[in-house]
Structures are given as structure tokens and as C-alpha cells.
Chain A
Amino acid sequence: MFKKELFFWITISSGVVILAFILIPLVEMMTAPSMDMLVKTFNDKDVMRSIWLSIYTAGLAALISFIFGTPFAYLLARTDFTGKRLVESIIDLPIVIPHPVVGIAILSVAGKNHWIGQIMSELGIRIMGSVTGIVTVLVFVGLPFYVNAAKNGFESISPRLENVSRSLGASIFGTFFRVTFPLAWRSMLIGIIMCSARAISEFGAVVIVAYHPMIAPVMLYERFEGYGLRYSQPVAMWLVSICLILFLALRVLTLRSKKDI
């Protein structure tokens, strides 16, 4: 490639700086807690319950994003219409809005002062302090990541392939599932990973909507406030490790199939 040139060394050194920037604080945090504390935290039911709740709600948020986001991403990838740019920026809005604002916004719709909140309370759906509320928030913050990734995936597939399939008599559904989906599923999977990664890291919006039941980042915060750094670090360590394993597994799965094709 461009080895031994100055440019090469610039790329290498910036890479080292970036990795160090990410890893040094994380390694420091992960190695701070003693083995004893880690074991104790691992056996702490509350901690494990919160980590499980985090994974479960983030997964649910990704699933909902997948179900509602896929058709919409397909529409955005295949059609052009006036105001498309506007629609696309609306999709991106949850990425830019400060997290607590998301929480407040959702609560203000879910309260009795709003007609949606009134309907929900009559149906017995509660957002404040419920798993429903947590998932709602996580979908809100995670959805853009899925829609964007899936849209990029669909855009990279030539519409000609779909046209061929249609001209040979396949239905729209048949075409989507037999032609488009097999070609785009990796982008969709990356979207799901991005969406659930975003969801699992959310704190600011969740803590406003639901303090109890506690997801792991909220538990971390509670541990920090109530007991200090010493007791919040092991929780962080477990959350980071478990997430790392999960996401690594997903990455490996996607990589392996890349070689197949």
C-alpha cells in the first residue's frame, strides 16, 4: 500500500491515539474492582436482574425497530418524493436531542394532561416506572440507527434485481423475501446491533421515565450515589463485559457469513 510514507505513519499514530483514548479509561475502570468485589457483585441478584433487564429491553427495542423500521427503510430506499429530506431528518432527530429531553417529552405525552396519556391510562398502559416505558424510550433513541442502516442496505441493492424477479411473476412480498432480504440482511443485522447497542447504553432518558425497575445504567448511577465508586465499578465491569461478549458474538456471526458469499 502506502507503507513507509509519512502518510502511513500519520494513520498509524492517529490510530494508536484513538485506541488509547478509548481503552485507557475503560481498562482503568475494569481493573479497579477487586476479584472479591466482582464475585460479590456477580452474586448480587439486584445487579444481575438489572443487567438482564437492560439486555432484554434493548433486545425488545431492536425487535420493534426491526418490525416497524424495515418496511419504512425500504420505502425510503426505493422512492423519491418531495419532503424526503425532511422525513430523513425527522428520523435523525432522536440522535441529536439531549437524552433527558427525550424522557421529558415521552412523559409529557404519557401523562393525564395529554389525550394520548388519557387513552393509555384507560387501557391500563403505564409508561412511568414500567418496562413498557423503558422499551418506549429505547425504541425512540435506537430507531434511527436501525432505519439508517437498513436503508443503506436496501439502497446498495440494485432495483433491477427486484424488477427481474417481478417480471418473472413473483409477488412484491415474494420478491422482498427471496431477493431483497437475502441480499440486505447483513445491513439489517448491523442495524439491529447498532440499535440495541445504543439502547443498552441509554441512561438520561430512561432515568426520567423509569427509575424502578432499574436497568443496569440506572443501577450503576444508584450504586454510585448511594455507595460510591467502589460499588459502582464492579457493576460497570459486568455490564461492559456481558455487552462486549454479546456484541462480539454478533459481529463474528456476521463476519463469518461474509466469507461465505
Chain B
Amino acid sequence: MELLKNNMEGRKTMKTLLKRLSVLAVSAVFMTVLSPVHSYAAPKGTLTMFHAGSLSVPFAAMEKAFEAKYPGIDLQREASGSQQAARKVTDLKKPCDIVASADYKVIDKLLIPESTTWNIRFATNQLVLCYTDKSAYAKEVNAGNWYTILQKKGVVWGHSDPNLDPCGYRSLMVLQLAEKHYKIPGLYDKLIANRPKENIRPKSVELVSLLQTGNMDYAWEYLSVAVQHELKYIILPDEINLGNYKFDDLYSEAIVKVTGKEPGTFMDIKGQSCTYGVTMIKDAPNKEAAEAFLEYMLDPEGGLKILKDMGQPPFVPCRVPTAEMKAMIPAGLQKLVEVKD
């Protein structure tokens, strides 16, 4: 039905083609690929997207819906750590249309200004402590005692690599904020003392299989990942979960040292609420398809709704920090974006 409606609207806008299209209309019902609107200007071909591992499940759902809408486009997604997604563009020069990062700052840091000029913030997330019913102390753990359980000997818990994965340094920030919030001096160091380096993994999603196979008792994950993988999880107070941007001032008190631009150098990352960013690469091989996808993805009734259903609260509408940046994004997307820092 929707398709038919589209066809009707399309006909109105293309008066010169009216005659021809009306002939085609009947067959279009049977051959959706050749539907009149799309046969004229529909983007097609391969659309390449590099995105954060934590977006895999919602993007898989979006891909399905989007490709049904645009049968001519083949969306090819590559999930990785957010940094790696950007590196594939900057260092490996892999052709890519869209990059979506679990931390919008990765786009600011690595892709602007060489590879793109804008960065749309589209969703939020928060950190939760995940476990399974087989985990040690699974029956006792709750939002009030998790930090004592993580200090117990024999409890295996981990997080992803703070140098590679935003979820990794965010996990450490949660621990720092917990020390302040629960007013227990030295809590951070005591917790880390019970987390050998071996419990670190490159990407947070990889920790899920360690939980599920019983190699690990607790792991720090995004809420969305916990929901999508049907893990048990503990929701933490807003003051420490990095999920509520109203607490950004408080979050910024957490500072994690991560590796810098070359081995042996370091830089500090300040805490901030989890904000996802998406951008289109300047020399994207398939700009039309990329715009079509972003238009679908940033639509409150389209991609944003899928994100919401999967435990990843979207910004409605999505945001860019400045009016100058808004002016740089493709015209078709501007209506879906507001200026708000």
C-alpha cells in the first residue's frame, strides 16, 4: 500500500512523465523494482558502511527495512571498533560511504576535516554491568553491592580495551564516578586490582561470548548490547552510568588516560554522556544511496524507532553542534537535524 501511495505522489510531481508512468503503473505493482518513482531517480548499487560493533543489531534491522524500501541498493556493513572504522577510511583508504561511531568524538578526532566536514549525533546509550545466571554471586548482585562483588577474589570481570574502544574507557569512567558517588576513597584502584589485564578484550561485544561461555562472570557493556543479547544487567544511577547528558558536568570529572597518536604517548579523555555520531565520507562512492540511507536512518519513524526499540534512546530530532555544520550536511537531511550542543 505504501508503495502505491508513493507511486501516486511520484506521478503528481513528474507531470511530463505522466503518460508513460500510467502505463507502467500496473506492471509496477508486480515488479516493485521498476516502480515509477524509483525507476526514475532511485539510488542503486552498493552502499558501504563502517560502524561500531555495538550498533550491529539495530543496523541489521535497519538494513532489512531499508533494502526493502530501495531494492536497488545493497547495503554492506562492516562492524568493528569505532576507532578501527575510522582508521579503515583514513589509513587503509577503503572506499566507504557512511561511518557510524559509538562516540561522536571519534569522527571529530579522526575524520574531520580530511574525510568529512560534519557529524550528526543521533543516539545515546548507557553503561550497565552484565552477567548471566551462571555468574558468581548472580543471585546476590544488585545496584547496591556490585562494587563489593567485583572486588571479591575469584570473580572474573572485564571491560574492553580503553585504547581501542570507547566502551572501554567509559567502563573505567563509571568506576571512577562510582568512587565519588558512593564516597569510598580508593574504590577505583581496588576494583582494578581485581581485574587482571588478561580480562580486557578489544571490543566490548566480544565480552558477551565470554559471559555466555562462562569464562567471565561480569562485563561492562552498553545497555543496548545487554538488551540485544538478552543478558542480565544492573542499571546504575544516572550520576555514574554516562547515559544522561544532564550530568555531563559531573561525568567530566572522570578522566581516563589512553594511548595517544603514537606508541608511548598518552592523552586524557574526559567523561561525557555516550553519544553516537554518524557522517558521510567526502568522497563517498555512492552519495545518492548514502543520503537515502541517512534519510531513513535519522527519520523518527524509521531507523530512530528501531534504535529506540533496541534499548538505544535516539535524539529526536538528531543534533549537530553548530549552524555552520548544519549548512554543510546534505540538503535532504537538514530537515531531520536541529542545532543543539
Contacts and interface: CB of A to CB of B under 8 A. Distances in A.
**A and B held together in a complex:** yes
Interface of A: 44, 46, 104, 107-108, 110-114, 117, 126-130, 207-208, 210-213, 221-231
A113 B199 CA distance: 18
Nearest to B206: A208
Nearest to A40: B263
Interface residues of B, number: 32
Contacts of A228: 87, 90-91
Nearest to A113: B214
A230 B91 CA distance: 8
A221 B202 contact: yes
B87 A224 contact: yes
Given A225-B84, A227-B262, 20 more contacts: A44-B263, A46-B263, A104-B209, A104-B213, A108-B213, A126-B198, A128-B156, A128-B215, A129-B196, A129-B199, A130-B198, A207-B202, A208-B209, A222-B161, A222-B202, A224-B84, A225-B164, A227-B261, A229-B87, A231-B263
Interface in B167-211: 196-202, 206, 209-210
A212 B163 CA distance: 13
A75 to B, nearest CB: 33
B119 interface: no
Contacts of A208: 206, 209
Nearest to B197: A212
B152 to A, nearest CB: 15
Contacts of A113: 134, 212-214
Given A107-B209, A129-B199, A227-B263, A211 B215 contact: no
B83 interface: yes
A207 B83 CA distance: 18
A114 B164 contact: no
Residue of B92, B163, B206, B263 with highest tally of chain A CB at under 10 A: B263
10 contacts: A44-B264, A111-B210, A111-B213, A111-B214, A127-B215, A211-B161, A211-B200, A213-B198, A222-B161, A226-B164
Contact of B210 (A126, A128, A229, A231): A128
Contacts of B259: 226-227
Contact of B202 (A108, A110, A127, A211): A211
A128 B84 CA distance: 24
A26 to B, nearest CB: 17
B166 interface: no
A228 B323 CA distance: 32
B216 interface: yes
B333 to A, nearest CB: 29
A112 B214 contact: yes
Contacts of A104: 209, 213
Nearest to A112: B214
A246 to B, nearest CB: 25
Nearest to A117: B214
A170 B119 CA distance: 79
